[in-house]
Chains A and B, each alone.
Chain A
Amino acid sequence: MVSLSPQTSAAAAAIGRPPIAWLSQFRGLPLLPLAILVPFVLIAVFADYIAPYDPTEPVAGMKIFIPPAWMQGGDIRVLLGTDFQGRDVLSRLIFGARVSLIVGVMGTVVAGGIGTALGILAGYLGGWADLVIMRLTDAWLALPALVFAIFLATMVGPSMWNIIIILGLVYWTRYARVIRGEVLSLREREFVKLAEIAGASSTRVIRRHILPNVLNSAMVLASLTIGVVIIAEASLSFLGVGVPPPEPAWGSMLADGRSMLMVGAWWLTVLPGLCIMMVVLATQLLGDWLRIRLDPQLRNL
């Protein structure tokens, strides 16, 4: 977007904005998603300082399958109990947040980067570029996403960064299609034609006119994709081809706890499941809010 020099913003304020405009910045903040996401992000960032135990090692002197502290047989030193190896569930959840958020955000960035770039190229260049890119997208869409991800993950071997690249490669198609459609209609808009008539190069048109106008859509898609990618990462980890053990990931925690669900060790599955659900929900709500927020036509309302 356009950066404002102090004078021009002062001028803008003088013309139409009430003097307390900055106060309204806080009006309508997405409180629920922020209330969920901010703690998760902080926890993920400061996991090393917050987590009471090493998430990969059994807690010394603790039995396995200790239930959460408030239950019969719980221990106050391991608040959320221990798993089948006697590792602290709370510490694993805390470090798992880091994995989920990094994979979710970075996977979305990779998917969004590939998809937006290809979508803009296809839409703006048209002709053969369009044909090739869109047939590639169609072919890609025909592949079942998760099966394809599992295939790629077993090919390149499990690691967090591999998972990020793989999920990016799996989920870019939606961006490419939506962005291409937007670009097709943008290309016919008169302000784009005006720029071309004024002599703007393709790069300039894309940078100044196309990209800023598709960012909204990319943002909305990203809000949807983060959730999908987090769930996909959890699924891969659940299936054993995601983040490799003993590294804690919510998906692999679900897998580990699954067999114990029948005998009543619910905390091993419900707690990571709840974390996944809350983070996914919060990202979706936040994305929706961002979309409204980023549209200058709605900004002053």
Chain B
Amino acid sequence: MKSGSNPQRVSMSPPLLEVEGLTKHFPVTIALFPRRQIGWVKAVDGIDFAVDPGETLGVIGESGCGKTTTSKLILLQEGPTSGAIRFDGEDIAGLAGPELMRYRREVQVVFQDPYSSLSPRMRVGEIIAEPLQIHTDLSRAAQQERVAEVLDLVGLRPEVAALFPHEFSGGQRQRIAIARALVTNTRLIVLDEPVSALDVSIRAQIMNQLEELQARLGVSYIFIGHDLATVAHISHRIAVMYLGQIVEMADSLELCEKPLHPYTQALFTAALPAHPDDKREKLTISGEVPSALSPPSGCRFHPRCPKAMSRCAVDAPERKEVAPGHSVACHLY
């Protein structure tokens, strides 16, 4: 668990990426004639966060909580229903032409499955050089030089540029994916469960590699995951998502020591303790994540919350700061 380099969102420098009131609703229709819309899936429902230069923001939550939709919105794969994403202070929804290309160059992604994210018909060198070909007019030799450089950064030999992806293991493929994400002097990388598909032993290597790269290059990460230990290890700050909303957000160390939201506490109960003798308040929840199509009234967590009060069913809690840099959306605080 890291802390120190950027403990809180103390506004020393402007944030690199700022998300405000971000909302994405998908219409649900039934395929009858005439097509009828029966509701909305509120995949992301009004979230706010910011990522500083050189910072890692962890986003954690169960599947279906909206973390992948959030990454799609940031990567401009989907347009938001409302709200804004600002990169360098500029709303990315309005980007076009050279400004859009600049954003495309400076924000990259690493996906979960390293077997699907590398084109099987291209050599590693071509795969890594693709963003360079799109954004620069470097000569072939200069491209190869840059490719060798980033391969070295991720701990691979430059000769591998001539090989095909299927000649590599999962961990090596993920390194290649990271090299590609870095090649254009990227400033923000969205890491969408980058180690979930890997072996535990490889996982640690990749995580350390990512941290090392961040220290050297000052790149920011948005690290999306569902494994608490992994996310807590690499992140400076963590946002806990539940049903399209951020329920708690805090410095990584603080969150691990003092999780406030009952959902966060339940997540820690579910994860293995760092030390077998660790004593913690046990909090178990039952049931499934409710459908995002008809989320519960009031606090969305109240049907599963062991500490729910009568107020929770009617009144949706606002996320408010309870300690410096630690905000939680719960009526208990």
- Residues of chain A having any CB pair with chain B under 8 Å: 1-2, 4, 8-9, 11-12, 14-16, 189-191, 193-200, 204, 208-209, 212-213, 296-297, 300
Which residues of B, 135-184, contact A by the 8 Å Cβ criterion?
Answer: 135, 159-164, 166-167, 180, 184
Q: Are B134 and A9 in contact (CB under 8 A)?
A: no
CB-CB under 8 A for A2 and B77, given A11-B162, A194-B117: no
Shortest Cβ gap from B104 to chain A (Å)? 3
Question: Beyond A15-B159, A194-B117, A212-B122: 6 further Cβ-contacts under 8 Å?
Answer: A9-B162, A11-B159, A12-B162, A12-B163, A189-B116, A209-B119
Most chain B beta carbons < 10 A, residue from A1, A11, A199, A297: A199
Interface string of B90-124 (1 = CB under 8 A from A): 00000000001100110111010100111111110
Select which of A191, A196, A199, A300 is within 8 A of B105 by beta carbon. Answer: A199
CB-CB under 8 A for A208 and B130, given A197-B108, A199-B105, A199-B135: yes
Q: Which 9 A-B pairs have the closest CB atoms?
A: A199-B104, A190-B117, A8-B162, A12-B162, A191-B119, A198-B131, A190-B116, A11-B159, A190-B111
Main secondary structure of the interface of A (DSSP, over half): helix
The CA of A99 and the CA of B111, in the complex, are separated in Å by 52
- Residues of chain B having any CB pair with chain A under 8 Å: 75-77, 100-101, 104-105, 107-109, 111, 113, 116-123, 125-127, 130-131, 134-135, 159-164, 166-167, 180, 184
Q: Are A197 and B125 in contact (CB under 8 A)?
A: no
Shortest Cβ gap from A205 to chain B (Å)? 10
Which residues of chain B are within 8 angstroms of A193 by Cβ–Cβ distance?
77, 111
Shortest Cβ gap from A275 to chain B (Å)? 37
20 A-B pairs in the complex with CB atoms less than 8 angstroms apart: A2-B126, A8-B161, A11-B162, A12-B159, A15-B160, A15-B163, A189-B116, A191-B116, A191-B127, A194-B111, A197-B77, A198-B105, A198-B108, A198-B131, A199-B100, A199-B105, A204-B134, A208-B130, A213-B120, A213-B121
Q: Are A198 and B125 in contact (CB under 8 A)?
A: no
Select which of A1, A11, A197 is within 8 A of B109 by beta carbon. Answer: A197
The CA of A273 and the CA of B161, in the complex, are separated in Å by 52
Q: Are A199 and B101 in contact (CB under 8 A)?
A: yes
Which residues of chain A are within 8 angstroms of B122 by Cβ–Cβ distance?
2, 208, 212
Which residues of chain B are within 8 angstroms of A209 by Cβ–Cβ distance?
119
Q: Are A198 and B134 in contact (CB under 8 A)?
A: yes
The CA of A15 and the CA of B127, in the complex, are separated in Å by 19
Q: Are A14 and B159 in contact (CB under 8 A)?
A: yes
The CA of A279 and the CA of B166, in the complex, are separated in Å by 36
CB-CB under 8 A for A198 and B120, given A8-B125, A11-B159, A15-B163: no
Q: Are A296 and B163 in contact (CB under 8 A)?
A: no
The CA of A213 and the CA of B107, in the complex, are separated in Å by 26
Shortest Cβ gap from A219 to chain B (Å)? 13
Shortest Cβ gap from A10 to chain B (Å)? 9
CB-CB under 8 A for A194 and B109, given A2-B122, A11-B162, A208-B130: yes
Residue of B nearest to A8 (CB): B162
Shortest Cβ gap from A43 to chain B (Å)? 36
The CA of A47 and the CA of B150, in the complex, are separated in Å by 57
CB-CB under 8 A for A190 and B135, given A2-B123, A197-B108, A297-B166: no
Shortest Cβ gap from B87 to chain A (Å)? 14
The CA of A204 and the CA of B130, in the complex, are separated in Å by 10
Most chain B beta carbons < 10 A, residue from A15, A195, A198, A209: A198
The CA of A8 and the CA of B151, in the complex, are separated in Å by 15
Q: Are A200 and B121 in contact (CB under 8 A)?
A: no
Residue of A nearest to B104 (CB): A199
The CA of A259 and the CA of B131, in the complex, are separated in Å by 67
Residue of B nearest to A213 (CB): B121
Q: Are A199 and B161 in contact (CB under 8 A)?
A: no
Which residues of chain B are within 8 angstroms of A190 by Cβ–Cβ distance?
111, 113, 116-117
